[in-house]
Amino acid sequence: MKNILLIATGGTIASKPTDVGLVPSITSEEIIEFVPQIEKLCKISTIQLMNIDSSNMSPERWIKIANCIRENYEKYDGFVITHGTDTLAYTGSALSYLIQNSAKPIVLTGSQKSIYLQDTDARKNLYDSFIFVCDEKSSGVHIVFDSKVIVGTRARKTRTHSYNAFDSIDYPIVAMIFNEKVIYYINEEIDKPVKFYDELNSNVNIIKLIPGISNKVFEFVGEISDVIVVEGFGVGGLPTYDDEKSLFKTIQKLTQQGKIIVFTTSVPHEGSNIEVYQVGNEIKGSINLLENFNMTLESTVCKLMWITAKTKVFSEVEKMFYESISHDIVY
């Protein structure tokens, strides 16, 4: 039997009701006790790494999770991380950059209702995660939720209450868990040694464009950021109001100061292409900026945190950003 480490971080799956709402309080050992059939699949050890609402997840805590896996990597055949759903896609992306080329499976899961409840998706999600992590063909960082196996860099929470809360954005799901078996749609092979990283730059921020947005927003965010991700309209672009081009001039000034500007889209599917319209074509042709194309917002943010912890030189950031890691960008 395989040796699997459960790393508990809190979230809805580990929550109990209190006078102030749901609070993560169920321990890693208690979580396993709710699904006793898991013990027939593998030998299980548990670590209570943290017990937080996932709204409180942070880059420092992503590094803590990655370091926990690194310290235990040789001892176990795979890892299951229980996590809140609200930032689960961010953590899946972050771990995909902090732990690359892992031949051992690293699975994240959670639930829309606490494992403490009778009517919950938690037990099935946890059991499915162990089925996948014990499979001989599983490897790398994935999210298992509602029987779907999703690449860590392609997941997004798309529903706030339903059990089918996560989708794979513009990339096929890797597998389904059906009748306690893993049905693969994509075979993934790891042919490089695992690499661990332990640095992230948290000075990455997002500006979401709204009609009439002021350039002062960019000026303020630029002061506190190394990287600004601009979430635009449609395929992307930068509006001009009254032909003043104030946004254009502000972004140009920020890039001259060494800030990294990355354009994305607020549209959930099919990505950006800012060269299509004049409002985007002009800025891309005259300012050093990046475009995330079909990457998710979550993977874009986490990848930039990983890259700019190493370098903030635009040409080097550009090269690393467009290198595909764990299917985060598809050409």
Nearest to 204 by CA among 283, 316, 300, 287: 300
- Which 8-state DSSP code applies to residue 40? G
Catalytic residue among 9, 46, 85, 153: 85
Question: Do residues 307 and 314 touch, judged by C-beta distance below 8 A?
Answer: no
Catalytic residue among 9, 12, 87, 109: 12
**Cβ neighbours for 203, distance < 8 A, ≥ 6 positions apart:** 224, 225, 226, 227, 308
> Can 296 be counted among the known catalytic residues?
no
Helices 278-286, 246-256: axis angle to 10 degrees equals 30
> Residues within the annotated binding site for substrate?
54, 85-86
**Cβ neighbours for 53, distance < 8 A, ≥ 6 positions apart:** 10, 11, 23, 24, 84, 86
Question: Do residues 210 and 190 touch, judged by C-beta distance below 8 A?
Answer: no
> Residues within the annotated binding site?
54, 85-86
For 214, other C-beta atoms within 10 Å of its C-beta total 13
> Can 9 be counted among the known catalytic residues?
no
CA–CA–CA angle 186, 191, 195 (5° rounding): 110
Just list the catalytic residues: 12, 85
